Structure 1
Amino acid sequence: MKPQNKETHVFNTRFGIITGLKEEGIIRAKSIRYARSERFQKPVPVEHFIYDSRLEDKTPVCPQKLSPLVEKMIGATPVEEFEPEESTQYLSIARPKNFFENEKLPIVVWIHGGSHEIGCGDLPTADPAEWVKEQNIIVVTVSYRLGLFGFLGGDEKRPPNLGLLDIIEALKWIKTYIVDFGGDPENITLLGQSSGGDAIAHLMISEGVDDLFHRVIIQSAPLGLRHKRQKMSAEFLKKTEEVKDEVDVYKMMEEYGKFVPSVIKYGLKAAMPFGIQYGFSPLCKEEESVEKWRKNAAKYDVLIGLNNDETAFYLKTSEALNKYFGKGFGLKLMDKTVEKTTDIIYGAPARQFADNYAKGGGNVYLFRIHSKLKDNHIGAPHCIDLPLIFGNESAWKSSEMLKDIPWERIHENGKKLRTLWAEFARTGKISDQSERPEILTMGKIKS
């Protein structure tokens, strides 16, 4: 069944006949189910495409609670366009409208962030259309299980890392079928921001991923929160036993919040209570992880980095904190706190990751995004990289984060950044002669 009054393109694939919509220079095939799952069960790959009329005008999302901070800083979540579903194994494909038969374009696979708790692959603020048109690439966006459904667990009844296993199934699907959409299965780059970057870093040391991807771009991964999470996860798992069988997912989402581990007890890592868990499939033990990244250094090209003022997203936007630390000595203390926490959670772990990878002989670049605007109170916070990479001005018009930044500046720097990231996706390298945006510092790390 074809949507009415819209220009379409039919992909005759080995997975089935899939209809894409032609939209302003791209073709988009949305909400292709790559796997299925029962609650707290491993994903099972889907063998062929099945049309789902519910998703003609809706986007499938894992059940989740809205984040007031995200609503304020990034923009309102279009909940009326969402179709909540526990088995959230879907992907969407965006490719240039004009292409040649038998053409093989480089693939970028977008793994969204959201603290392993919120978000989905298809949000307007991460629409890859501009990037696809500019750089003649294919972008695949992946949705996977989150929160209680995908990133808690810890026993046989509730296995951990289910969201990570979902992503692996998506990568297997892409490896097998993307050639039918004009993509090159031998040139696949994973791109992830925040918890999406954390997931990608751990996919690099996961079982069952051989030859599924070739490069990674890791943006603002909170790798400083990955250590010694076992006690916190076990407590969270035990306390949520009483909601695990709840049929009403909305009630489930309302109730689990009261069991979230205390930041006072567990420190900064409790700010991201859901996450990957070492020692369970498909991951090694935590103490083996650094050596495993080093041993795998020959397998993947790596571009890793962060924004200069990551935690300003959380600290400088707090009305309570601004009341006491918004000016004078308080502001200086706030700036120092942002600098320190950014380094603990993002900066130092990224440097350590890059140095370790280079020592293993890996090809790795380290970058940092700055504001460079004197009157920009918040600087370059968490998520500022999203409008730079994806553009889409209309989706960001209500963003509090961008209120003091002219869109022309975002677009100018973003286009240059998209060009560099696409160069890396094509070749695994970034030439010294390639133009850099003024907001970017970057270098290749040597062993």
Structure 2
Amino acid sequence: MRIPTVFAALLLAAVSPAAFAQDVTPIVETGEGRVQGLEQDGIDAFLGLRYAAPPVGDLRFKPPVAADAYSGLYDATGMGAPCMQLYTPSGPNSTDVTRGIQAIFPTSTEQKIDNEDCLFLNVWTPDAGAGSRPVMVWFHGGGYDYGSGGWPAYNGRNLAAKGDVVVVTVNHRLNAFGYLNLAEKFGDDYAASGNLGNLDLVRSLEWVRDNIGAFGGDPDNVTIMGESGGGSKVSHLMAMPSAKGLFHKAVVQSGPGVTSGKPAEAAAYASDILAHAGIADPADLQAIAADDLLAAVRRATPANAGFGRGPRFGPIADGVIQPRDPFLPAAPEQSADIPLMIGYNKDEMTLFLAAQPWFGMIDDATLNAMAAGMGPQAAGAVAAYREMYPDYSATHLASAAFGTRFVQGTYLLADQQSRTANAPVFVYRLTWETPVANGMLRSPHTLDIPLMFNNAAESAALLGEGEDAARMADMMSDAWISFAREGAPSSDLMPDWQPYSVPDRSVMELNLQPAMRDDPERSIRELAAANAPK
């Protein structure tokens, strides 16, 4: 049963004395009806707003449609359900250190509360109904398998308060529910099924266009942002015709989406999943329980899949919804006027590898043996990183070699965009190292998120405590806010951020003493070209 919103603040006050400061927001009129949330320390938070109809029943495996209008007052005091999660415990919750990070990235917890009825978004605004502020829309990480816009690291209150901006975070269909290519098996009625999750994102931006003005946002100044899988989602939206005009700036963090999946490969993966699920016709698609479908996905997916190996979910270049690979053979013409900020973290892979039994235990001989089995670039990457970081242990050299795809993809995408775009490209490299776990993680995947969201104090599990994390958060949130407002990142804590272009490839190194550097990982960038198929 939903508790009427008008009583929500009183209920919170009864539960906790600290909640007496909580108050209800103004009532906002949206296209679907009236909504009311709760004020969070001076910021109006509207949580769990529907931007599309529940994708269930006849809408299962179909494109999103607008939500029905409702009467009465919509309760926007709590997050909507995360979408169905395909998360395995071999990920970043497998050690005491990384399990602590679950406080801000609660991947395992969301499996307990996930739901197919998941097309919700959250809005934080300094003043609902007044003003015309820059809008910063966040697409979550977790690849295309898990995650939600409700992770605590994504809480938009601090960013909205500091920058006088409106922050939006979005849930969308994932894994088999968002990217199962059923077109070959079941025909035209399922032509869009391989790209549904990204169509959900387009629908969320349509909702922002139509409604964000009522929350104090400017629909003509929308920045889309995302990290990891979220960065790939941003990359793909830059090349989706249906997304054209719905955003005006883009930020890709540790997730360059240069290429899309191929329809034939996605259809073969779908066929295996359907066979394991016992699905023979469209009626079976409607009948199968959500958890049973995910169980079939797990049975159909090789144990060693991931990080570029084996089948995986994601958008496909179907020639229509996603006409081609986003940034090959060139950047998309439709985004030539979109300012882009893109970057990566120095030690992306430590977060994923810290759970491996060899992490922290290998010597140079073991490293060389590992490199021999890691592919044609690995030996060269190890040698390059050994020269770049003479103080790195064999473990950290191995981790760096595993992470070359982040480096190479970032520079490839930035090269492509800067060669043809009218708007500027800005590239960063986060080199500040977190002190948690005696510095074991260095500059890992996700480190940028609580910094640019200005959530340092709330994210001590990843950032540690102290002035250094606060300074990095102050600097990076400045830059992201400036980019959303004006199309160029800046902060009083950093030098002038010069646009990126070939051949100089000027990059802002984000650290306590930030600095512009030209082509800081040239040796790694050039490995990709040297080992490309001839």
Unaligned 5+ runs, structure 2: 11-21, 280-284, 368-391, 496-509, 520-534
Give 1 or 2: higher strand fraction.
1
Structure 1 gap ranges (5+): none
What residue number does 1:388 align with? 451
Deviating more after overlay: 146-155 vs 21-30: 146-155
**Given that residues 32 and 49 in structure 1 are in contact (C-alpha distance below 8 angstroms), is that contact kept between their aligned partners in structure 2?**
no
| Cross-structure match for 1:75 | 102
Aligned to 1:411: 470
One of 40, 45, 51 as aligned partner of 2:61: 40
Change in CA separation of 1:261 and 1:108 when aligned onto 2, cut-off 3 Å: same
> Which of 336, 339, 342 does residue 301 from structure 1 map onto?
339
482, 504, 529: which one aligns with 1:423: 482
Q: Is the 8 A contact 1:367 1:443 kept in 2?
A: no
* Residue 81 of structure 2, aligned match among 36, 55, 60: 60
| C-alpha displacement of 1:122 | 1.3
Distance in 1 separating the partners of 2:411 and 2:115: 38
CA–CA separation in structure 1 for the residues paired with 2:488 and 2:92: 33
Structure 1 residue 338 displacement after superposition: 2.2
Alpha-carbon distance between aligned partners in 1 of 2:216 and 2:518, rounded to the nearest angstrom: 31
Work out the CA distance in 1 between the residues paired with 2:273 and 2:331. 33
1:293, distance to aligned residue in structure 2 (A): 2.0
Matched position secondary structure for 1:325: coil
**Normalising by the residue count of structure 1, what TM-score does the alignment of the two structures yield?**
0.86
Note if 1:377 corresponds to 2:440. yes
Match of residue 154 from structure 2: 126
Shift of 1:130: 1.1
Q: 1-side partners of 2:342 and 2:126: how far apart? A: 27
Counterpart CA distance in 2 for 1:198 and 1:441 is 27
Q: Judging changes above 3 Å, is the alpha-carbon distance between structure 1 residues 142 and 203 closer, same or farther for their aligned structure 2 residues?
A: same
Counterpart of 1:11 in structure 2 is: 27
**Of 169, 173, 186, the match for 2:220:** 186
Which of 438, 441, 445 in structure 1 is aligned with 2:511? 438
Larger Rg: 2
Shift of 1:368: 0.7
Could you tell me how far 1:421 is from its partner in structure 2?
0.6
Distance in 1, matches of 2:175 and 2:49, equals: 22
Residue 322 of structure 1 aligns with which residue? 359
Distance in 2 (CA, whole Å) between partners of 1:175 and 1:227 is 26
In the aligned structure 1, how far is the partner of 2:120 from the partner of 2:474? 28
Q: 1:290 to 1:80 in 2, by over 3 A?
A: closer
- Equivalent in the alignment of 1:202: 236
SS at match of 1:164: helix
1:85 corresponds to: 115
- Is the Cα–Cα contact under 8 Å of residues 205 and 292 in structure 1 kept in the other structure? no
Kindly tell me the number of residue pairs found equivalent between the two proteins: 433
- Pairing 1:274–2:313 present: yes
The 1:351–1:177 alpha-carbon spacing in structure 2 relative to 1, beyond 3 Å, is same
Worse-superposed segment, 14-23 or 173-182? 14-23
Q: Is the 8 A contact 1:309 1:378 kept in 2?
A: yes
Distance (Å, rounded) in 1 between the aligned partners of 2:448 and 2:484: 17
Residue 409 of structure 1 aligns with an amino acid whose one-letter code is: D
1:325 Cα offset (Å): 2.2
The one of 270, 286, 299 aligned to 1:237: 270
Matching residue of 1:350: 410
Aligned equivalent of 1:140: 168
Instruction: Supply the distance in 2 between the matched residues of 1:29 and 1:444 (Cα, whole angstroms).
Output: 43
Task: Return the alpha-carbon distance in structure 2 between the equivalents of residues 53 and 175 of structure 1.
Answer: 20
Q: Distance in 2 between matches of 1:356 and 1:82?
A: 41
Query: What is the CA deviation profile of residues 367-386 of structure 1, one whole-angstrom value per residue up to 9, with x for unaligned ones?
Result: 11013569522211111112
Change over 3 Å in CA distance of 1:183–1:295 after alignment to 2:
same
User: 1:128 is aligned with what amino acid?
Assistant: G
Higher relative CO (CA 8 A, sep ≥ 6), structure 1 or 2? Answer: 1
Task: Write the distance in 2 (CA, Å) between the matches of 1:305 and 1:169.
Answer: 26
1:319 is matched by which residue type in structure 2?
A: Q
In structure 1, C-alpha distance between the alignment counterparts of 2:248 and 2:115, rounded to whole Å: 31
Distance 1:283 1:65, change over 3 A: closer
1:27 is the counterpart of 2:44 = yes
Q: Distance in 1 between matches of 2:329 and 2:111?
A: 44
Q: Distance in 2 between matches of 1:227 and 1:336?
A: 29
Alignment RMSD (CA, Å): 3.1
Residue aligning to 2:137: 109
2:426 maps to 365
CA-CA distance at 1:4 after TM superposition: 4.1
Query: Superposed, which structure 2 residues align to 1:163-174 within 5 Å?
Result: 163-174=197-208
Q: Residue type matched to 1:18 in 2? A: V
Shift of the 80–161 alpha-carbon distance from structure 1 to 2, 3 Å rule, reads closer
Q: Distance in 1 between matches of 2:118 and 2:320?
A: 20
CA deviation string 1:214-270 (max 9, x = no partner): 00011000537x466555423321111043636332333334212114647xx8423
- Displacement of 1:47: 4.8
Residue 255 of structure 2 corresponds to residue 221 of structure 1: yes
- The alignment partner of 1:334 has SS state of helix
Cα pair 2:134 2:217 within 8 Å, conserved: yes
Instruction: Return closer, same or farther for 1:431/1:62 CA change in 2, 3 Å cut-off.
Output: closer
State the shift of 1:271 in Å.
6.9
